[in-house]
Amino acid sequence: MAVGIFDSGLGGLTVLDAVHERLPDLPLVYLGDNAHAPYGVRDADDVYDLTTKAVDRLFQAGCDLVILACNTASAAALRRMQESWVPADKRVLGVFVPLIEALTERQWGDNSPPREVAVKHVALFATPATVSSRAFQRELAFRAIGVDVEAQACGGVVDAIEEGDMILAEALVRSHVDALSRKMPEPEAAILGCTHYPLMQDTFQDALGPNVAVYSQANLVAESLADYLIRHPKMVGPGEVSKFLTTGDPKRVSSRATQFLRRQITFEAA
């Protein structure tokens, strides 16, 4: 009855923690492709190839449903996977939809034409690959009109977080917020478009100011998954044991993950 959670590195652990808190009895298999992280600087074909290999490993581990807790994979690979690669009895879901549902206050099942929403100026902070894909803007356009999205590629932030250098990560976040502010001085909302970024949410909020609503993914994805499983209970796979898998060095990744979540995490080789 396991559900898979995939990320290029450790960022997806923020989603795993939120899902575990929301669905404590659900076995979760986490796979971090740490050997090839970060994805945010790779081209779309490379991201697609790496993502399909990782998701196939999660299928083998007894997961019929996999969450791409990686915005770069969701942006660069998900649509292509769903159209031509995912088996009929499996499902792969991304992390943009729950954000857009929250931002536009519309349910994804609402297929009425796009309409105006309350928020008009949105800042998107994401990896270079996610920004260049324009996937967030494309998905948002299905639901809303008249929303100005200014995207800021946050180079270096993921690397700093993965290395545990939070001082550097904070400095980079403030630099990227400053760059965004020069292009959009008064955003009403900010999207943290990478699952690493919730660890820096307080820094983003402080740099943006108290009047900007900051949307982070972990809890939104957890709520969306809970709702999805109510509607599609058969998509919970046959796996029964929670585990953490990595393509990198399990000892090193376990150490980083333990720092990341501030609790003991033990990875094994994928």
Q: Is 30 annotated as a binding residue?
A: no
Of 58, 68, 70, 189, the active-site residue reads: 70
H or E stretch covering 48: helix 44-60
Q: Is 48 annotated as a binding residue?
A: no
H or E stretch covering 104: helix 96-104
Of 194, 221, 222, 270, the active-site residue reads: 194
CB 124 within 8 A of CB 191: yes
Q: Is 8 annotated as a binding residue?
A: yes
Q: Is 130 annotated as a binding residue?
A: no
Active site includes 194?
yes
Q: Is 104 annotated as a binding residue?
A: no
Active site includes 70?
yes
Q: Is 34 annotated as a binding residue?
A: no
Nearest to 35 by CA among 244, 249, 245: 249
Q: Is 215 annotated as a binding residue?
A: no
Q: Is 72 annotated as a binding residue?
A: yes
| Tokens linked to 180 | 């965004």
* DSSP code of residue 199: G
Please, is 2 exposed, middle or buried when counting C-beta atoms within 10 Å of its C-beta (0-12, 13-18, 19+)? buried
| Tokens linked to 265 | 């995490």
Rounded Cα–Cα distance for residues 65 and 47 (Å): 19
> What residues are designated binding site for substrate?
7-8, 39-40, 71-72, 195-196
> What residues are designated binding site?
7-8, 39-40, 71-72, 195-196
Which residues are known catalytic residues? 70, 194
